[in-house]
Amino acid sequence: MDVTEQITGLESDLEEVARLLETCERKRVKDLLSQEQRRMEKELAQKRLQREQQEKKESGDKTESTLKGYTVKINNYGWDQSEKFVKIYITLKGVHKIPAENVEVKFTERSFSVLVKDLDGKNHQMMINNLLSPIVIEDSSRKVKTDMVLVMCKKTTAKKWECLTQLEKQSKEKDKPSYDENADPGDGLMSMLKKIYSEGDDEMKRTINKAWAESQDKKSKGDDLDF
């Protein structure tokens, strides 16, 4: 007897026990039936878990056998957005000619993965993690167009995304010049002048040197440096 048949038998037994409990009047008999009911429910839960693990294993074996061959990473894509969706455009020549079931897209609250199987003898794979904001899994989808896969991620809130992932946001913030309100403004000016000087040509360096000399001359006379 396989796991599915065992589950079906246990479900029928539990239904029978439930009916007996409804009609039973003796406390001792009720206690025995309730004890048996709990035991059977525990066994049923274990059998269902066993079946689920077996199905996952079989599904994994099937995927593994399907993906035998060369798998490449998808790098060519762009993205856009509307009020409700973030749209990822993946360019894959000829993707519209393969069976629709060969294009798999899976979503989580903060990521999505794309697997295109057996396109020109290769598998094409892509994973985007740590999306900038959560998405609605059940309302996200994919569309196959001519030479393109369109991934539609449904926004949880209708706000504009400044970038696609958290990593991109952190990178942008890292590149922004830092500002310390307690810092000496002169330090910032000096840093800027040093940067311009180091990157400038000979003419630029002569100009900066002349301006610096004149400013020092003004300071020595008690005048304020005025830019």
Domain of residue 120, CATH code: 2.60.40.790
pLDDT tens column, 195-227: 676 776 777 777 777 777 777 776 666 555 444
Tell me whether residue 202 is in a domain.
Answer: no
Domain span at residue 25 reads: 3-66
Using the predicted structure, report yes or no on whether residue 180 has a pLDDT greater than 90. no
Q: Which two tokens stand for residue 106?
A: 């899976």
Q: What's residue 64's pLDDT?
A: 53
Amino acid at the residue 163: C
**Is residue 86 domain-resident?**
yes
> Which tens digit of pLDDT belongs to each residue from 142-165?
999 999 999 999 999 999 999 999
* Residue 31 and residue 120 share a domain: no
User: Are 94 and 132 found together in one domain?
Assistant: yes
pTM: 0.51
Q: In terms of pLDDT, which residue wins out, 62 or 191?
A: 191
Do 60 and 154 lie in one domain? The reply is no
Strand 135-145 with 103-108, pairing:
unpaired
Per residue, the 3-state secondary structure of the chain, as one string, reads CCHHHHHHHHHHHHHHHHHHHHHCCCHHHHHHHHHHHHHHHHHHHHHHHHHHHHHHHHHHHHHHHHCCCEEEECCCEEEEECCCEEEEEEECCCHHHCCHHHEEEEEECCEEEEEEEEECCEEEEEEECCECCCEEEEEEEEEEECCEEEEEEEECCCCCCCCCEHHHHHHHHHHCCCCCCCCCHHHHHHHHHHHHHHHCCHHHHHHHHHHHHHHHHHHHCCCCCCC
pLDDT tens-place string over residues 95-154:
999 999 999 999 999 999 999 999 988 999 999 999 999 999 999 999 999 999 999 999
The span from the CA of 215 to the CA of 159, in Å, is 49
Question: Domain for residue 226, yes or no?
Answer: no
Establish if 108 belongs to a structural domain.
Answer: yes
* 122-128: strand order across its sheet: 70-73, 122-128, 111-119, 103-108
Tokens of 221: 């006379």
Is there a single domain that holds both residue 60 and residue 105?
no
